[in-house]
Amino acid sequence: MTRVDVPQATRAGADVDEPMTGRYAVAMSSHDLAERLFGPDLEMLRRAPGIPELPVVTTFDDETFARLADVEILVTGWGAPAITADVLERLPRLSTVIHAGGGTDALIASDVRPLLQRSNAGSINAIPVAEYSLAMIMLACRQVFASQRIYRAVRGRVDREQTFPAAGLYGQTVGLVGASRIGRRVIDLLRPFSVNVLLADPYITPEDAFTLGVELVPLEELMSRSDVVSLHPPLNDETRGMIGAQEIALMRDGATLINTARGGIVDLAALQEELLAGRIEAILDVTDPFEPLPADSPLWACENLVLTPHVAGSMGTELRRMGAHVAEELSRALRGQPLEADESPAR
């Protein structure tokens, strides 16, 4: 916990003559994650008169509650302990949660959310997910993954025009499911390329689609017309299992399904059947009901599947971008200013 009352603020974006007041702490899976998120800024967060260390708490217990009894702002990240009504009762001064991740719904209990001002870094984390999606769309359209399999098998010259007559980005049809923050960013990233973009989203109007520059179609039509399908909806009761056997069966032979959203959106058993048959290709950064897949899953040996360990989101150097965003939000909160990524009004 840190008390900040600094006559001359030193944080990024601060006016030097504007004082900052408040008590705050960091809660996430480990001190190491905090270091990777904030880097030198973590040391900056510690610089407060009379407070030798900013605690990074990984669990809520009696000792933690005693240390954070008068905390007002909690900076959270992946692996942070859940904030329930019982927790809030033990932290009576807590008013603001700034989350270094997507939405806070999974972190904060539903009955507590209206009582807290909440901010997240979802728009920041959307950047690498959209970039990863774009990269995979381009590689899939050029049939790069299929070509490297064939090249390794042949170990000789491959006539690319004869072997890959439908490869290339020009004129391909890309289907995006969900006009979420990430989905919209992917649309923006695809603008410079000569591709046809289809969108399936029940909450988007034809006028919205026109503004986005995409063709709005039903999900079934998108699945049947697209050379590459990229999934970007949130996971909820409406979307769980929405890409099932019927939808996958509509995909063209040789088409590619990309999932960087949530594993539960896809019926994995139905997809596995199609992949093992060799009819389509897939790129999965997430899987459900298992992540990672069981060691004996046949999908590990499936050559027409690119399987990555949930790396589409912020990682490595990109964590610092999330940390910078959170530090800016913390600076605003300490000054009583509106948060940029506010999810709800303060209590």
- Token digits for 213? 């520059």
Q: Which residue do the tokens 């008169």 mark?
A: 49
Backbone angles phi, psi at 250, to 5 degrees: -75, -15
The CA radius of gyration of the chain, in Å to the nearest whole number, is 23
274: left (phi over 0), alpha (psi -120 to 50) or beta: alpha
Which residue among the candidates 23, 118, 185, 262 is catalytic per the annotation? 262
The SS3 of residue 40 is helix
Burial 308-331 (b: 16+ CB within 10 A, else e): eeeebbbeeeebbbbbbbbbbbbb
Give how far Cα 265 sits from Cα of 204, 233, 236, 247, 297, Å. Answer: 19, 8, 9, 12, 19
State in Å, rounded, how far the first CA of the chain is from the last one. Answer: 21
262 is catalytic: yes
Rounded CA-CA distance 78/81 in Å is: 9
- Indicate which residue of 113, 279, 310, 321 is catalytic: 310
Residue at token pair 């999330």: 322
* Catalytic residue status for 291: yes
Q: Find the catalytic residue in 291, 320, 321, 335.
A: 291
CA 34 distance to own-chain centroid: 18
For the question of residue 152 being annotated catalytic, the response is no
Q: Which of 4, 53, 50 is nearest to 26 (CA)?
A: 53
Cis-peptide into 292, omega within 30 deg? yes
Dihedrals φ, ψ of 306, to 5°?
Answer: -100, 120
**Which residues carry out catalysis?**
262, 291, 310
